Amino acid sequence: MQNTKPHAALLASPGMGHLIPILELGKHLVTLHGFEVTIFIVATDPSTTKSQLLEKTPNSYPLNILLLPYKDITSLLDPSANIVVRIAVIMRESLPSLRSAITAMKILPKVLIIDIFGTEAFEIAQQFGMRKYFFDTCNTRLLALITYFPTIDKEEEYNHINKKQPLQLPGCEPVRFEDTFEPYCNPNDPMYVVSLRIGVEIPMADGILVNTWQDLEPITLSALRDDEIWRKVIKVPIYPIGPWVKLRQVEQQFPRGNKVLEWLDMQPSESVIYVSFGSGGTLSKSQIAVLAWGLELSQQRFIWVVRPPMDNDAHGSYFKNKHDEIDTLDYNYLPEGFVTRTHKMGRLVPTWAPQEMILAHKSVGGFLTHCGWNSVLESIVNGVPMIAWPLFAEQRMNATMLMEELGVAIKSKVLESKGFVGREEIEKLVRKVMEEKEGKEMRVRVKELKCSGEKAFSKGGSSYNSLCQVAKDCKA
Ligand code: UDP
């Protein structure tokens, strides 16, 4: 029998933070909207395999997943090139393989959905007459900054970057220099050029999907839709379709028997703080040691995803998809005796934990996070207040939004200047979120956000309706 389902193609940039929301979107297009979905993922080294990339993500829906082969980019890059530039080059080099793969398809996809590093693939969608959507796996605030930045004049740019003044985005909260998207800090860095190009290309989509929801960012969303200046920058519809998190079918992925989850089962309600810096973030050796001291001093229960220190690179193991390679039980960078002394009150997890299940567990009452947007959403949908410890990319903007606009996180002032956070301060922050009035108030607010996210995402809600509209347009 001929397959009559509409076909959608999704292209994920390297990194779990990109892959996870793309997979979730693909699953929803299959289960709720009757699409056949092909997801293209990009190999970042010669040994990458599909199963390795999917190892840590729940994937029981019928998605066609195609791995675009590894292209050697070493001759195209300075060895010290930043991760942003590396990903951009990898994505560009994978375009011929993407084109060939689409050409070979029996049923041509009706739509191509890409994320932040995939905008150059719009040209391929154009060639095949497909609709093209940009999926912002982060929030509307970042979308505003990236798409507005290429239009600002020299003086505004000078004031923001050189004079370190806030950047006024029409109708939105200004972006403080200290928070600005990392690539904009230095116009001489190649990642600045990459980011400007992406900002120009995003509005060329037929529509923009954002992993957020109306009531989380009402001011920014209204500005981008209604403000006259914005109507010149982004002329296509913006669809808030979130919160997308990998919560569903987690039982299959991490069946009971996982030791950390079993330990959590035995802890009192909301008594454990979860500490994690995302899929690849790390701290320096001395900061990791002091974080350990701070946790111990706080006398709170904890689960800590510990990744070996990288003194010069907070992105750490961002590309290491095969996490076991760097798993280690030899925590020689932690203070002597820490593991033994804290054995009753905490658990260390080398490199990768079932984060979505940990945050959903009733015993978890706080999250010390690097503020990657997936982690932020996973915390919000589980009603867990946060300690913000941003490291790179747009994470400082996310942290400010969580603290100042939403009131669901606290942060050390030292991090404003990328400084070193001392053990007493870490102790104080942890106690504050876990035991004190401020933490209780944040918990109330984050639970309200949880409800508003659930409402937006469920049938008839604003995000649900937005995705229905996109699906309808793609099928037409
Ligand atoms: N993650 C996980 N276990 C870990 C670390 C990360 O499952 O030990 C998942 C986390 O749940 C989230 C994603 O990896 O879905 C990280 O994405 P995020 O946007 O928070 O940060 P990034 O890794 O892109 O910096």
pLDDT digits (tens, 9 = 90+) for 90-110: 999 999 999 999 999 989 999
In this structure, which amino acid lies at residue 74? T
Domain 256-454 matching CATH 3.40.50.10860: the answer reads: no
Query: How far does residue 353's CA lie from ligand 1's centre (Å)?
Result: 9
Give 163-170 contacts, CB < 8 A, sequence gap 24+.
169/144, 169/145, 169/223, 170/223, 170/227, 170/229, 170/230
- Residue spans of the domains in the chain: they are 7-245+455-475, 256-454
Residues 6+ apart with CB under 8 A from 2: none
Using most ligand atoms within 8 A of CB, pick from 260, 279, 357, 373 the residue to mutate for ligand 1.
279
Q: Which atom of ligand 1 is nearest to the CA of 352?
A: 8
Q: Where are the alpha helices (DSSP H) in 164-309?
A: 190-201, 218-226, 228-233, 250-253, 259-265, 285-298
- Report angle CA 415, 348, 303 to the nearest 5 degrees: 65
pLDDT score of 56: 61
Alpha carbon nearest to ligand 1 atom 2, residue: 355
DSSP 275-331: EE-TTT----HHHHHHHHHHHHHHT-EEEEEE----TT-TTTTTT---GGGG--S--
* Domains 7-245+455-475 and 256-454 agree in fold: yes
Residue 279 near ligand 1, beta carbon < 6 Å: yes
Which tokens go with 195? 């980011």
Residue 207 near ligand 1, beta carbon < 6 Å: no
| Sheet-wide strand order for 409-411 | 346-350, 301-306, 272-276, 364-369, 386-388, 409-411
- Report angle CA 144, 149, 153 to the nearest 5 degrees: 135
Q: Which residue of the set 28, 33, 115, 315 is catalytic? A: 115
Residues 6+ apart with CB under 8 A from 108: 7, 102, 128, 130
pLDDT score of 57: 62
| Sheet-wide strand order for 64-68 | 64-68, 36-42, 7-11, 111-114, 131-136, 207-210, 238-240
Residue 253 near ligand 1, beta carbon < 6 Å: no
Residues 6+ apart with CB under 8 A from 427: 294, 295, 297, 298
Examine the residue annotation and report whether 327 is marked as an active-site residue of this protein: no
Please answer whether residues 370 and 281 qualify as being in contact, where contact means their C-beta atoms are separated by less than 8 angstroms: yes
Query: How far does residue 352's CA lie from ligand 1's centre (Å)?
Result: 9
Please answer whether residues 86 and 92 qualify as being in contact, where contact means their C-beta atoms are separated by less than 8 angstroms: no
pLDDT score of 321: 46
Residue 348 near ligand 1, beta carbon < 6 Å: no
The single-letter DSSP state of residue 402 is: I
CATH code, 7-245+455-475: 3.40.50.2000
Q: Phi/psi of residue 102, each to 5°?
A: -70, -40
pLDDT score of 461: 97
Question: Within the chain, which residues score under 70 in pLDDT?
Answer: 1-3, 53, 55-61, 247-256, 311-329
Query: How far does residue 56's CA lie from ligand 1's centre (Å)?
Result: 10
pLDDT tens, position by position, 375-391 = 999 999 999 999 999 99
Q: Which atom of ligand 1 is nearest to the CA of 279?
A: 23
Examine the residue annotation and report whether 7 is marked as an active-site residue of this protein: no
**Gap between the Cα atoms of 73 and 43, Å rounded:** 12
Query: How far does residue 158's CA lie from ligand 1's centre (Å)?
Result: 34
Query: How far does residue 127's CA lie from ligand 1's centre (Å)?
Result: 34
Q: Phi/psi of residue 236, each to 5°?
A: -105, 160
Strand partners, 111: 8, 131
Alpha carbon nearest to ligand 1 atom 21, residue: 372
Position of tokens 């998605």?
63
Alpha carbon nearest to ligand 1 atom 15, residue: 374
Residue 305 near ligand 1, beta carbon < 6 Å: yes
Query: How far does residue 396's CA lie from ligand 1's centre (Å)?
Result: 16
E strands present in 397-464: 409-411
Alpha carbon nearest to ligand 1 atom 11, residue: 355
Residue 277 near ligand 1, beta carbon < 6 Å: no
Q: Which residue of the set 7, 18, 33, 315 is catalytic? A: 18
- Mean pLDDT over the full length of the chain: 91
Residues 6+ apart with CB under 8 A from 96: none
Q: Which atom of ligand 1 is nearest to the CA of 138?
A: 19
**Gap between the Cα atoms of 48 and 255, Å rounded:** 26
**Gap between the Cα atoms of 328 and 351, Å rounded:** 8
